[in-house]
């Protein structure tokens, strides 16, 4: 149960940061920094408890990698999605962080390509820095993962999907009003495709 609690807490603060940052008065250039640094902190806080997935796609991919037990998948995903829903509610309904403009449908192809690439990069980095023997026990994995999300948010977040790279974040943006129902399915599909492709690439290149 402690793993699921850790996943809930980490996902909650990651999603809350997304909702509050994107809907804040701060310059958009600072949004990825807020999100990435929160993720870094939560990874270092929960990595030794739950491996700090905070993302259903990451859970799926680590299961494919063989570092997440089948019995844990449901608990992880439920904790992540529950945290996402509650964070979206707290951010929007209690803290008052709601969009100033109505969400619009994104241009499907570039948005899906951006989400696929961003999720690929995220999962590829996670697999290499947090699941390999050669990097076992390293102290930089949280920085590597957090900065990857920051970088991807800068270069891939401007295609109408808000650079989710995470189904839990996608659902939260829908609840908050940042995304439309029509956007969410393609975003989540792209997240899964990107993650699975990263696992395939990892298995093809890592030979230890």
pLDDT digits (tens, 9 = 90+) for 145-163: 999 999 999 999 989 898 9
State the pLDDT at residue 160: 86
Contact 10, 46 (CB under 8 A): yes
- pLDDT of residue 13 exceeding 80: yes
State the pLDDT at residue 142: 93
pLDDT digits (tens, 9 = 90+) for 78-113: 999 999 999 999 999 999 999 988 888 999 999 999
Confidence of residue 134 (pLDDT cuts 50, 70, 90): confident
Number of domains in the chain: 1
Q: Which domain holds residue 78?
A: 2-205
pTM, 2 dp: 0.94
Tell me the DSSP string of 62-74: HHHHT-S-HHHHH
- Helix, strand or coil, per DSSP, at residue 125: helix
- Helix, strand or coil, per DSSP, at residue 87: helix
Q: What is the CATH number of the domain that holds 102?
A: 1.20.1080.10
Dist. CA 44–CA 108, nearest whole Å? 35
Tell me the DSSP string of 137-190: T-S-HHHHHHHHHHHHHHHHTTSSS-S--SHHHHHHHHHHTSS-HHHHHHHHHH
State the pLDDT at residue 101: 86
pLDDT digits (tens, 9 = 90+) for 154-208: 999 989 898 999 999 999 999 999 999 999 999 999 999 999 999 999 999 987 7
């Amino acid at each position: 149960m402690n793993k699921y609690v850790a996943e809930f807490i980490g996902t909650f603060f990651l999603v809350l940061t997304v909702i509050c940052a994107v809907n804040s008065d701060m310059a958009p250039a600072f949004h990825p920094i807020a999100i990435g640094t929160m993720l870094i902190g939560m990874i270092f806080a929960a990595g030794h408890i739950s491996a700090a997935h905070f993302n259903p796609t990451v859970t799926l991919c680590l299961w494919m990698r063989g570092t997440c037990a089948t019995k844990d998948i449901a608990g992880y995903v439920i904790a992540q999605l529950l945290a996402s829903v509650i964070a979206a509610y707290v951010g929007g309904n209690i803290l008052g962080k709601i969009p100033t403009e109505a969400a619009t449908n994104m241009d499907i192809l570039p948005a899906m390509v951006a989400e696929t690439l961003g999720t690929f990069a995220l999962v590829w980095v996670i697999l290499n820095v947090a699941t390999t023997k050669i990097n076992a026990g390293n102290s930089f994995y949280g920085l590597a993962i957090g900065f990857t999300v920051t970088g991807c948010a800068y270069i891939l977040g401007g295609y109408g999907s808000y650079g989710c790279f995470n189904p839990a974040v996608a659902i939260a943006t829908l609840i908050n009003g940042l995304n439309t129902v029509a956007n969410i399915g393609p975003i989540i599909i792209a997240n899964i495709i990107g993650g699975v492709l990263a696992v395939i690439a990892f298995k093809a290149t890592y030979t230890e």
